[in-house]
Amino acid sequence: MTTLQVSKARDRFSEIVNRVIFGRERIAVQRRDKRRAVLISEEDAELLEWLEDQIDLDAARKAIKGRNKAVDWEDFKKELGVK
């Protein structure tokens, strides 16, 4: 992965965007010798979002699966601090 300083990336922004879009490069942008952001293609962003959705779905399924037991109303109110 190519890494550029913020100032250099700003000066060459159009070129960098084209490298990401057409060359499918991932380009990191750093400030004070620390990576702060990464420019990625739309396809990579869609894949990342799909992966995040899958993680969320797995967590939701586990949460739903664990809800099969009945909860006493009074205990539930106590847990929430409701009188």
Global pTM value: 0.66
Q: Average pLDDT for residues 3-28, to the nearest whole number?
A: 96
Neighbours of 41 (CB within 10 A): 16
Which one is predicted more confidently, 51 or 63? Answer: 51
Query: Per-residue pLDDT for 29 more than 90?
Result: yes
Q: Model confidence at 64, in pLDDT bands (50, 70, 90)?
A: confident
* CA dist., res. 63 & res. 56, Å (int): 10
Largest CA distance in the chain: 63
Give the pLDDT of residue 68. 64
Region 55-82 average pLDDT:
83
Q: How far apart are CA 60 and CA 41, in angstroms?
A: 29
